[in-house]
A and B are shown apart, each in its own frame.
Chain A
Amino acid sequence: MRIVATIFLLIGLFSACTESPVETVFFNFSGNRGVYIVNEGNFMYGNSSLSFYDPELKRVYNHIFQARNGAPLGDVAQSMNLHNNLGFIVVNNSGKIYVIDSQTAEYRGTISGLSSPRYIHFVNSEKAYVTDLYARKITIFNPETFQIKGNIPVNNSKSQFNQHSTEQMVQYKNKVFVTCWSYDNKILVINSDNDQLVDSIEVFKQPAGIQLDRDNKIWVLCDGGFEGNPFGYEQPGLVKIDAETLEIERSFRFKLGEHPQSLRLNSTKDTLYFINRHVWKMSVNDKKLPEQPLITSNYTSLYGGFYSIGIDPANNDIYLGDAIDHRQNGIVYRYSSNGKLLDEFKVGITPGNFAFKTK
């Protein structure tokens, strides 16, 4: 009898031993140029992570947030911005922004209580905006104190859809232009002096990416929705808007069924890059969409391929994230601005966003 009891209890005891905590890893990227890679992870898995790549040493450091701070980054890390030696990482489905020291990855604070935060735009050293997929407001916080200071309501009660979901932002003078992606077709214009919604511009369906070029023209990439979308489904498009007059100057259409995404500009703000299965490059003066891709995706299978893009402001190197099956560590390919492969390295699950550290 006792033998049996002992066996049963020993098994239990064996399993009750808890794992020893992992030692803290210290980083110091001071003086190094490099890029932070935000790995989204999977929705409801809480497995997003942060990587750092040093292009001079060709060395990648993965999981730096958890390695340095002990806790995981959270559920679906969406974007990251560097500002005043701090890194602001928006963790979408954890409803928060984690702030780290951009040289050491050390945790500095949290801006919590958000609904479904997406992107940050810094208006000045004391004011930043956070867009949100669901909150129907843009949250204003102080990037020095990490305190929420207020919000800009963007509720559109006239629509049967839950508008406006706010997405990416660019600023021209005191006007902040905000894309409204989900079930929407608007660019909102916010006066950054008084934080008021002052105007809006109608574009194609589901505008996501937005960039401001050297001529003060705003470029908006719209994905057109999807088949069966109650808000509608149309050809994706690229729209060029004059930031001063808010007039649409030119528009470009993709084919139905294509999924253009990740609109970026180079450092001189005269060349656009985006992914539409392959990587495409066009001048801000072009009058039609490019016909030949800059970098061709070799994927022929049903899944995998280029998922995200980042342009190094120092040398216009192109960083391409490949999420493979979105359930394993992704790959980042680094290309020169003319499309030559320079390096490739493994990062975390679903590399989705890049934040470049210039020093």
Chain B
Amino acid sequence: MKLFLIGLLLFCSRAEQALAQKLSDTISIEEVQVFGKRKIEETATTITHIDTMALQMMKTQTISELLSSYSPVFIKSYGRGSAATASFRGTASSHTQVYWNGVRINSPMRGDVDFSLFPVYFIDDISLQHGGSSLQSGSGALGGSVLINNKADWTDRLSVRFIQTAESFGTYKEYLNLGYGNGKLQFKTRLFSDHSDNDFPFYNYGVLPMHPAIQKKADYTKNGLLQEIYARRGKHSFSGKFWAYSSRRNLPQLMSFEGDARNETQKDANIRGIIDWKYVTDKNKFELVLGANWNRLNYFRSSTEANFVNFDSRSHEKSWSSRLNFDRKVNERFSLVWSLASGYHTVSVFDRAQKIGYDHNRFEMSLLNSAYFKASERFFFSFLMRSELYDQHLIGAIPSFGAEYFIDEKQQHSLKLNVARNYHQPSLNDLYWIPGGNPQLKPEKGYSGDVGLSISKPTGNQSFSGQLTGFMSLIDDWIVWQPSANGAYYWEASNLRKVFSRGVELQVHYQKKFGPQIQLDLKGNYSHSATSNVDAVPSVDESRGKQLIYIPKDKANLFAELNFKNTYLKLNEPFTGKRYTSSNNVESDYEKILNPNWLVNSAVGQKVELKPLLIDISLQIENLLNTDYMAILWRPMPGRYYSATIQIQYKK
């Protein structure tokens, strides 16, 4: 191992020298946006922008991998290509709200979002609103919100970008982007296709006798289209976005499975459309957003030998939403934001094999009144008040207060404070699933507070920025599915837990330029979130005060990118701390916890300009150190694997 380390270090230094000799032409490196712009609505709030450098690095991945590698959000993934949900600040997956171009796209049926169904290639901008700061976008994000946006490129006259990736385990990904326009009217079309046989080798220590094995029936195919239209005239601007996506996944069995031949698949399809109109003057901004979101999900399981279908569950979700925004900048020190949003969701679930399902709908409205003050050059305040109505429930007041104090005159360092109340409505499955759904469920109630220190130190050819946030939240009436004391064999939903979550989030970024041609970027983030059940009832219940299962206390990422002229080397190291799989957090030789793992993913690439084409070729090694780990109990993960990507870009 030592030899390997020395070898790799030597390789790094030698490669630098060799490349320095080879490359003498000056080719301009693509401009990279590193820091997000500061809007008044973003003062006194905790928002993280994931920069375009990360989007570029992860362009052939999904948002689940992007968030896992570049944000404090923990992604619970069932494996390569499989479903992936988010846990923000130690909360449940339904406590992360996701907005696509301003429209909430959480499943009204389950409450969460499967991030493995969002290719990074289909987004232009992604940011996170932590804790109470998420009330700007909507309620229900007891952990935080993820904002996914598409943006117009008004400078694009004609552009074509094609990416081809070939990866281990029979994986091929193709991406195509076409853009054209005249600065007043812009069109952008994106297409992608992703297929993997996903037949990676692993050592199966889940059966007797233990043996080397190949993952079976884990293949997936995903295809998507995103069409955008943007127009602007005077103070008016208009955009239309249309998204179509389909995914078919074979679901592999646990390592211990030795049963008859099983077919288990999940098919997802979604169609989304958004129309947005904006009218912007010096002091006012009106915005109207109309959205539609249709999802279909088919979970199927059959025993092929017995020719017997166990499950054939089909769910259809249809959502219509609208939002009217009015921003008014009263003066330099005071601005107001008013927003009225409504949504109508219908869910129809039916299992053809089990002959069971439900049909329900939900209407919801949300009113936001918020004000932003600049008390002095250094003091900023924000007040938010939301009122929500869903089904027959009125939640009159969901307030939030934020403050930010700039320590220095240049406004580079600041202290932040945010306190908020929040609510999360039960999902339609929680209420109506048969058996076990509970129509009497109350919304989950949360109180949260966070304090943060933000610093930024740009000096000459190097810069440093960082943000340290401490947070605390108490969520009451947390909804849990578990067997009830009446002895029913099925599980039931109830407002069972009171959960206390607290922790810190740290994000740092260091950038240094060594002369005009060499640039180094180092980034890191770390989050610690202890999430515990503080209200265990029976005396024998040892789960009181213990960490919730599958949620790590610690999560970190390190990222390094070295650019030398047109050659780049990238290292990305996501760390996931120890995770418990039992509610009393027991661990022994046999009581399985999920061990901490620190993966190393690497990429080396070269950009070549063959006018008018810009070509970028890269080679990636994922899980470079061949770490043996499990993301979910008894589900294997691939060891070291390889991928090669070529990107060809043309821009007029």
Hey, which bits of chain A sit against chain B, CB under 8 A? 1-2, 4-6, 8-16, 18-19, 22, 44-47, 49, 62-63, 66-67, 69-75, 91, 93-96, 98, 107, 110, 112-116, 134-137, 160-162, 183, 223, 226-230, 257-261, 275-277, 297, 299, 301-307, 322-329, 331, 349
Contacts and interface: CB of A to CB of B under 8 A. Distances in A.
Interface in B611-626: 624-626
B303 A134 contact: yes
Contacts of B558: 8, 11
B584 interface: yes
Given A63-B590, A66-B590, A95-B258, A1 B12 contact: yes
Interface string B461-499: 000000000000000000000111111111000101000
A71 B207 contact: yes
Contacts of A260: 487
Contact of B256 (A75, A258, A302, A327): A75
A205 B560 CA distance: 63
A2 B435 contact: no
B598 A11 contact: yes
Main secondary structure of the interface of B (DSSP, over half): loop
User: Which of B207, B259, B573 has the most chain A CB atoms closer than 10 A to its own CB?
Assistant: B259
Q: Which of A12, A49, A63 has the most CB of B within 10 A?
A: A12
Interface string B16-35: 10000000000000000000
Contacts of B494: 302-303
A259 B488 contact: yes
B538 A299 contact: yes
A16 B571 contact: no
10 contacts: A8-B560, A15-B597, A16-B627, A94-B254, A113-B258, A115-B260, A229-B434, A261-B487, A275-B487, A328-B583
B625 A12 contact: yes
Nearest to B256: A74
Contacts of B486: 257-259, 277
Interface residues of B, number: 82
A134 B308 contact: yes
B256 A46 contact: yes
A260 B486 CA distance: 9
Given A72-B634, A95-B258, A136-B306, 9 more contacts: A4-B520, A5-B12, A71-B206, A95-B259, A95-B262, A113-B305, A276-B487, A304-B485, A329-B591
Contacts of B542: 324, 328-329
Given A12-B598, A95-B259, A46 B487 contact: no
Contacts of B634: 45-46, 72, 75
Contacts of B376: none
A94 B9 contact: no
B595 A325 contact: no
B541 interface: yes
Contacts of B275: none
A18 B309 CA distance: 41
Given A302-B494, A327-B582, A44 B13 contact: no
A114 B538 contact: no
Nearest to A107: B208
Contacts of A261: 487, 489
Given A8-B560, A15-B596, A47-B633, A303 B483 contact: yes
B586 interface: yes
B652 interface: no
Contacts of B522: 4
A327 B259 contact: no
B356 A230 contact: yes
Interface string B610-652: 0000000000000011111000011000000000000000000
B210 A328 contact: no
Interface in B578-600: 581-584, 586, 588-592, 595-600
A38 B542 CA distance: 21
A15 B556 CA distance: 13
B305 A115 contact: yes
B567 to A, nearest CB: 14
A15 B554 CA distance: 15
A96 to B, nearest CB: 4
A4 B306 contact: no
Nearest to B494: A302
A8 B573 contact: yes
B206 A46 contact: yes
A15 B573 CA distance: 11
Contact of A226 (B259, B435, B538): B435
B208 A70 contact: yes
A307 B207 CA distance: 28
B354 to A, nearest CB: 8
A10 B5 CA distance: 8
B164 interface: no
A298 B488 CA distance: 17
Contact of B540 (A226, A277, A331): A331
B171 interface: no
A159 to B, nearest CB: 11
**Which of B305, B485, B487 has its CB near the most chain A CB atoms (within 10 A)?**
B487
Nearest to B541: A324
Contacts of B633: 45-47
Nearest to B487: A259
B439 to A, nearest CB: 11
A119 B583 CA distance: 29
Interface string B62-89: 0000000000000000000000000000
Interface string B205-242: 11110100000000000000000000000000000000
A44 B206 CA distance: 13
Contacts of A1: 12-13, 16, 520, 562
Contacts of B586: 328-329
Contacts of A161: 355
Nearest to B627: A16
A304 B624 CA distance: 45
A19 B595 contact: yes
B1 A302 contact: no
A327 B543 contact: yes
Contact of A303 (B5, B207, B210, B482): B482
A69 B538 CA distance: 35
B394 interface: no
B585 to A, nearest CB: 8
Interface string B494-520: 101000000000000000000000001
Contacts of A94: 254, 256-259
A184 to B, nearest CB: 13
B8 interface: yes
Contacts of B434: 226-229
Nearest to A113: B260
B592 to A, nearest CB: 6
A15 B627 contact: yes
Given A47-B592, A95-B260, A303-B496, A12 B582 contact: no
Contact of A301 (B257, B259, B353, B537): B537
A229 B494 CA distance: 20
Given A1-B13, A162-B308, A277-B487, A326 B5 contact: no
